[in-house]
Structure formats: structure tokens, C-alpha cells
Amino acid sequence: MASNIKIKAKISGDLVEIKSLMIHPMETGARKDPETGALIPQHHITQLTFTHNDQVALVANLSTAISKNPYFSYKASGAKAGDVLKVSWVDNLGGTDELETVLK
Amino acid sequence: MGRALANRRSLRRLMLITVLIALTGCATEFERRFDEAERLRSEAAAAGSEWLETGDLLEQAQQAASRDDLDAAMALVERARFQAEMAIKQAAHEADNWAGRVVK
Amino acid sequence: MRKAAAVPGAIVAALLVQQTALAGPEEDRLALVAHFQSRFPDIPFAEFANGIYAIDSDARSQWLEIEEFPPYEFAVERGRELWQKALPDGTMLADCFAAQLPDIRGQFPNFDVASGEVITLELAINDCRIENNQPPLEYDSSEMIDLTAYLAFEARGTKVDVRVPDDQPGALAAYESGKRFYYSKRGQLNFACADCHVTSAGQWVRADRLSASIGHTTHFPVYRSKLGGMISLQKRFAGCIRDVRAKPFELQSTQYRNLEYFLSYMSNGLEWNGPGARK
Amino acid sequence: MQIGRRFVLKAGVALATIAALPRTLLAAAWPADAFSAKTATEALNSLLGSDQTTPSDQIELDVPVIAENGAVVPITISTTLSNVEAISIVVEKNPRPLAAMFEIMPGTLPEISSRIKMGETSDVMAVVKTDSGSYSTSKQVKVTIGGCGG
């Protein structure tokens, strides 16, 4: 199966720009199921962590106000080809996902 | 052809209703009007011109009738009939007028 | 046309009626392109493939932000995996198509002489499955959407070139039926597709600006932010028809396939640029 | 990292606790109180210990004037302030105003983009926490109810 996290990284000089997209419903808990009328329980990523070669680069603490299928981008210095980039998240229901990629 | 068939079908239904009236003495005015509205709805559908709610209105009318809320049922049938008639008129009007709108 | 200007009105009217009856698909298309180019003189023809984002700059910049990393990329990836997976009897979907991968999307819609019907990409995919003893996919299933998203992605950059063969009266009839659908008012609100997307393109309906007809079919399936998911072109037809408060038709009904045939022809010359992202 | 982990293994105690809370080693815990706050003031108080931030023109907040769709509003925040520790997004009129808080580690530039949800037209505030205080800038984003496309 295809991964539920995607990463695009672009190195220019010393800088790397990292873009990431992941599949997650990011349910607010206020939305109703159109068929049953029942509230759909809150379900959202709480913490998303980016690491470069095991060093934490960015931690995103999130609420349900992040759009469904979340997207993030940031830039970091001191990056070079061969560096290992890892993205991982945990959500409020205990779900997790992660993806590791090597910068090219 | 289709219309003749439909007429014959509704004639048969009318005969059935007459028998029912004779047997039960009940008011089947609703059923008569319902069938008429349903016939018009399917005529509009055959012309590819049925409106969004017409079928739902007829369904709601049937539900109201099964609750013995005859006033509501009649009002709903009336709205459905009106919509179906308008949709048929619309289709006839468009048959003569659509081509005039084509950009030349 | 210029000559006609000197002729009395009634004759002009008669000539116009006759012209309408005689206008073929290519005349229709050129007239529509000319209509939009005179309405939006600053928009290059190729840009119409981007729909409303060709017209509205604030919306365009938001769209470009989404395109930085569009959620449809997941659909494309899943579609690629489905495409590369053999059916149980060993057949590849690709075996059913005569064209190379980038050209498959552009082969549809077309008119099939044998069945006398318009064949869409979705129909062709299901025909392939049925021939190989597989159940057809639901038209709005994620598998179908993913496959069409992948084929749309592979077709990027090729040009729309829908054919209505002169020697096929059935093809012209299907085209004409789609055209009639597009220009006929329907529903409680009494709107034709063309009322919004030809006559009023660029104007506002409540908080939305109306896109132009040409380019409407180039970028499907699309990821709708509003839905948080992908939808097909025909599902979008159904949405528009519901919006004018008419009863939508079944996906891949004759009505929708003929409409797709007509409307795709109107986009001839533009690039296939699916899958897309829309609000 | 590597040494720390080996140390824990050697210690042989509290292993389960550490494993259950790996992120506490990496970053602060998810600030539940700030995220459940119902006003921007409460959220900032909880997050920064004060709702007072210094308006700064060294923060660039890029958001649309009119959101195409309130469910997906692109946002980019960058700043030339130095020693940035965190960047937060506060949507004042959302039921829970704090949308996100990004912890910027050394080596990471203070420039992030995301896509957020907005329930209605509101001021959107970018709050930058540095080692010398909290700074902010705000912009209004209009959210409209769609016609046919929306």
C-alpha cells in the first residue's frame, strides 16, 4: 500500500526546503455523519515531529483547526545529500504513522 | 405509444380505485391525485426534465397519508403535481428554444 | 456575416436559424473560443484549462499554494499501483488499451460505432475488467477515481483532441444531444449549464465566480477541498444539476456521456492537466 | 541521543515509562490547556504565560484576503526576529482559537507553511516566541459561504 505520508525535499546550497503531506481526517468532533446524524468523534494529529539525522528539527503541536490531509513546509540549514529525514506523528486516539527518507 | 400505455394503466388504476371506493366507501381522492402527480412526474423524467424534489414530495405525501394526516398529504401531492407540470412545460419550451442560445 | 448586415432583418434571422442547424462541432468550438477570448481578452487560450484560476487572481494564488503539494498525489500513487497490478487472470489493464500510457486519457471520450455509444475512460476501464471476468468498478469508487487520476496525471501536457467523425451520423447525434443538454434550461431554478458558464462566466454567484466552459473537462478527477476527497467529472455534472434543483442522472448515463462528449470537444486544443485541485 | 538511550537501557528501570513517553525526551508535551481554551486571550495566557505580545513588523504573515474555502486556508509565517523558539497560529473566532504551535529547533529557519480551517471571517494572528519575548502580527481573512463551487 502507498504510504500515508509524503515528503518532498529540495536542497539548495546549505538550505533544505521540506514539504510534507499526510492523510488524516482531522475531525473536529463537531461534524455530524450526514447519514446517521450522529456526531463524528474528534480525531486529529496532536504532535508531528521532523528529525534530521536523529536531531529534532521541528515539532508541530496541532489542533483540529489544521485542514484535513495536513500539509506543512519549513526550511532548515546545514543539510546535505545523504541526510536522513524522518517524519512521525501521533494522534489523539493513539494512532501513529512515520516515514523516513534520505535527502538527495 | 408510451403515453397511450400510461393512460391505459391509469385507467385501470382508476377502475380499481372505483371498486375500492365502492367496497370501502373511503376517501381515495388522495390516491387519485397521487397517481396523477406520479404520472406527471414520470412524464417529466422521461423528458429528462424532472426537478430535484418532486419524487421526495410524493414520498413524503405517502408517509403523511399513512399517518392519516390527509391535509398534509394532499398539500404535498399538490406541490409535486405543480412541479411535475412545470417541468413538463419547461421541457417543451426548451425543445423550441435551446438552439437559440448556442453561441455563434 | 458582414454581408448579411445589409440584408433585411427577417432574412438575417432566417439565415441565422439555418446556420445554427448547419453548424458543426468545429464551428461551435471556434465560436465559443471567440466568445471567451472577446470576454477575457487578457487570458491566453491555454490558460482556460485552469478554469476559474485563469480569471480570479486571489483564488489563483490559493490554488497555487495547494498545488505546492496537492492531496490528489495520493490518488495518483494508488492509481499507479492499481494500474501496475495484473488482474487475476494475468491481464494488465494496459493490455486493453491500444495507445501508449500518456495517450490513453486522450482517447476518451470517443464514439464507438459498434455500440453506437459514447465511450468514456471509466467505461473503457470497466469493459476491460468485464472482458477479463472481473466485476466492474463502481463509477465513484476510490479504485476508479484513483485509476483515472493516474491516467490523467500521465496524460499531462498532451492536448485534448476529441473527434466527432464526419462519416458517423451516430457520433454527430451524440454530440448534438450533449450540446442540447448544455444549452437547455432545467430544474426549479430554470438554468442551463450555458447560462452560468457561457453567458455569465467570470461573474459572481454569491461567493463564487463562474468558470468558462472551455477547459471544464481537462483536469478531472479533482480533489475538492470542500469534500476533502476526489470526485469525477460526471459527479461534478450531478452537483451542478442538483444546484439548479433538477434531479441528477445516473453516473455514466447516456445523458452524461453525451454531455461529456460535447463538452470535451469544446476543450479541444487545450492541455490535459488532471488531476486537479478545486475549492 | 544514542548515549542517552544506552544509559537508560543500562539503568534498566523506568524503561516502560520512557518508552511510553518518547516525545517528552524530544519536545514539550502537547499543550492541552492552550488548545482547549475558548478565547485567544486564554490560549495565549496558557501558552506564553501572558496574553500580551509585542506587535512586530518583522513577522510576515501570508494569508488570503478572501478564503476560497474556509476548510483549507493556506498560511505562511516567516520572521526576521532572531532566536525564535516557537511560532503559533491563533484564529480568534474559531471555537478553539489556537490552531497550531510549532517548536523551532536550532538549525531550523523560522518560516513555516500550512493549511488551516476557519469557521468564519476572523483575524488570524501569528505569534512568535523568541528568547527575548513574544511578538505578533494579525491579518483579517474573510470566509464566505460558497455559491455553487463551494
Q: What is the mean pLDDT of residues C30-54?
A: 95
What would the grid cell of residue C102 be?
500518456
Instruction: Report pLDDT for B26.
Output: 52
Q: Is 60 exceeded by the pLDDT of residue A18?
A: yes
Instruction: Report pLDDT for C58.
Output: 87
User: Does the CA dihedral D78-D80-D86-D88 come out positive or negative?
Assistant: negative
- State phi, psi for D9 to the nearest 5 degrees: -60, -45
Q: What is the mean pLDDT of residues A72-91?
A: 94
Instruction: Report pLDDT for B6.
Output: 53
Nearest of D80, C148, C228, C279 to residue A40 by alpha carbon: C228
Per-residue pLDDT tens for C191-236?
Answer: 999 999 999 999 988 878 899 999 999 999 999 998 999 999 999 9
Contact call for residues C212 and C266 (beta carbons, < 8 A):
no
Q: What is the mean pLDDT of residues C12-31?
A: 67
Q: b vs e for B72-93, b when ≥16 Cβ sit within 10 Å of the residue's Cβ?
A: ebbebbebbbebbebbbebbee
Contact call for residues C42 and C249 (beta carbons, < 8 A):
no
Instruction: Report pLDDT for B17.
Output: 59
Mean per-residue pLDDT over chain C, rounded: 91
Give the residue on D whose Cα is nearest the Cα of C203: D147
Give the residue on A whose Cα is nearest the Cα of C68: A19
Q: Does C133 touch chain B (CB under 8 A)?
A: no
Q: What is the mean pLDDT of residues C58-75?
A: 94
Whether residue C207 and residue D115 make contact (CB cut-off 8 A), yes or no, is: no
Determine what percent of chain C is predicted with pLDDT higher than 90: 85
Please, which residues have CB within 8 angstroms of residue C32's CB and are 6 or more apart in sequence? Answer: B103, C198, C213, C214, C266
Crossing angle of the two packed helices C169-183 and C25-39, in degrees rounded to 10: 30
Q: What is the mean pLDDT of residues D59-81?
A: 96
Instruction: Note which residues in 80-139 of chain C have CB less than 8 A from chain D.
Output: none
Partners of residue A25 in chain C, C-beta under 8 Å? 228
Q: Is 70 exceeded by the pLDDT of residue C10?
A: no
Q: Which helix (H) or strand (E) holds D142?
A: strand D133-143
Q: Is 70 exceeded by the pLDDT of residue C45?
A: yes
Whether residue C74 and residue A20 make contact (CB cut-off 8 A), yes or no, is: no
DSSP state of D24: H
Is 0.85 exceeded by the ipTM? no
Per-residue pLDDT tens for C179-192?
Answer: 999 999 999 999 99
Strand C208-209 with C222-224, pairing = unpaired
Partners of residue D65 in chain C, C-beta under 8 Å? 58
Q: Does C167 touch chain A (CB under 8 A)?
A: no
User: Does the CA dihedral C154-A17-D62-C40 come out positive or negative?
Assistant: negative
A19 vs C9, higher pLDDT: A19
- Partner residue facing C245 (CB), from B52, B94, B98: B52
- Partner residue facing D114 (CB), from A59, A72, A90: A72
Measure the CA–CA gap between C42 and C63, rounded to whole angstroms. Answer: 20
- State phi, psi for C139 to the nearest 5 degrees: -65, -30
C-alpha distances (whole Å) from B51 to each of B30, C172, C246 are 22, 28, 4
Q: Does B48 touch chain C (CB under 8 A)?
A: yes
Measure the CA–CA gap between C111 and C130, rounded to whole angstroms. Answer: 20
Instruction: Note which residues in 100-139 of chain D have CB less than 8 A from chain C.
Output: 113, 115
Partners of residue C77 in chain A, C-beta under 8 Å? 2
Strand D98-104 with C276-278, pairing = unpaired
User: Does the CA dihedral C152-C153-C155-C160 come out positive or negative?
Assistant: positive
- Partner residue facing C74 (CB), from A20, A23, A73: A23
Partners of residue C85 in chain A, C-beta under 8 Å? none
Q: Is 50 exceeded by the pLDDT of residue D16?
A: no
Instruction: Report pLDDT for D1.
Output: 35
Contact call for residues C211 and D68 (beta carbons, < 8 A):
no
Nearest of C69, C70, C102 to residue C221 by alpha carbon: C70
Give the Cβ contact number of residue D23 at 10 Å: 17
D26 vs D133, higher pLDDT: D133
Query: What is the secondary structure of C150-211 as a DSSP string?
Result: HHHHHTTTSBP-----TT-HHHHHHHHHHHHHHHS-BTTTTB-HHIIIIISTTSEETTEEPP
Residue D6 confidence class, pLDDT cut points 50, 70, 90: very low
Contact call for residues C277 and C223 (beta carbons, < 8 A):
yes
Distance from CA of D127 to the nearest CA of A (A): 14
Q: Is 60 exceeded by the pLDDT of residue D23?
A: no
Q: Is 80 exceeded by the pLDDT of residue A86?
A: yes
Per-residue pLDDT tens for A38-75?
Answer: 999 999 999 999 999 999 999 999 999 999 999 999 99
Measure the CA–CA gap between C185 and B95, rounded to whole angstroms. Answer: 10
Residue ranges, chain B, pLDDT below 50: 1-3, 25
Strand partners, D129: D86, D134
End-to-end CA distance of chain A: 24
Mean per-residue pLDDT over chain D, rounded: 84
Instruction: Report pLDDT for B100.
Output: 95
Distance from CA of C71 to the nearest CA of A (A): 7
Chains B and A physically touch (3 or more Cβ atom pairs below 8 Å): no
Q: Is 70 exceeded by the pLDDT of residue D13?
A: no
Measure the CA–CA gap between D23 and D29, rounded to whole angstroms. Answer: 7
Nearest of A3, A8, A63 to residue A30 by alpha carbon: A63
Determine what percent of chain C is predicted with pLDDT higher than 70: 92
Whether residue D68 and residue C63 make contact (CB cut-off 8 A), yes or no, is: yes
Residue written as grid cell 397511450: B4
Q: Which helix (H) or strand (E) holds D135?
A: strand D133-143
Instruction: Note which residues in 197-226 of chain C have CB less than 8 A from chain A.
Output: 225
Number of inter-chain CB pairs under 8 A, B vs C: 67
Chains C and D physically touch (3 or more Cβ atom pairs below 8 Å): yes
Q: Which helix (H) or strand (E) holds B3?
A: helix B2-24
Give the residue on C whose Cα is nearest the Cα of B85: C188
Whether residue D112 and residue A74 make contact (CB cut-off 8 A), yes or no, is: yes
Mean per-residue pLDDT over chain A, rounded: 93
Annotated catalytic, C240? yes
Instruction: Report pLDDT for A79.
Output: 87
End-to-end CA distance of chain B: 37
Give the residue on C whose Cα is nearest the Cα of D73: C62
User: DSSP 3-state assignment of D116?
Assistant: strand
D82 vs B14, higher pLDDT: D82
With contact defined as 3+ CB pairs under 8 Å, the chains touching A are C, D
Measure the CA–CA gap between C29 and C202, rounded to whole angstroms. Answer: 19
Determine what percent of chain D is predicted with pLDDT higher than 70: 79
Please, which residues have CB within 8 angstroms of residue C107's CB and are 6 or more apart in sequence? Answer: C97, C98, C99, C121, C124
Chains B and D physically touch (3 or more Cβ atom pairs below 8 Å): no
Whether residue C242 and residue B52 make contact (CB cut-off 8 A), yes or no, is: yes
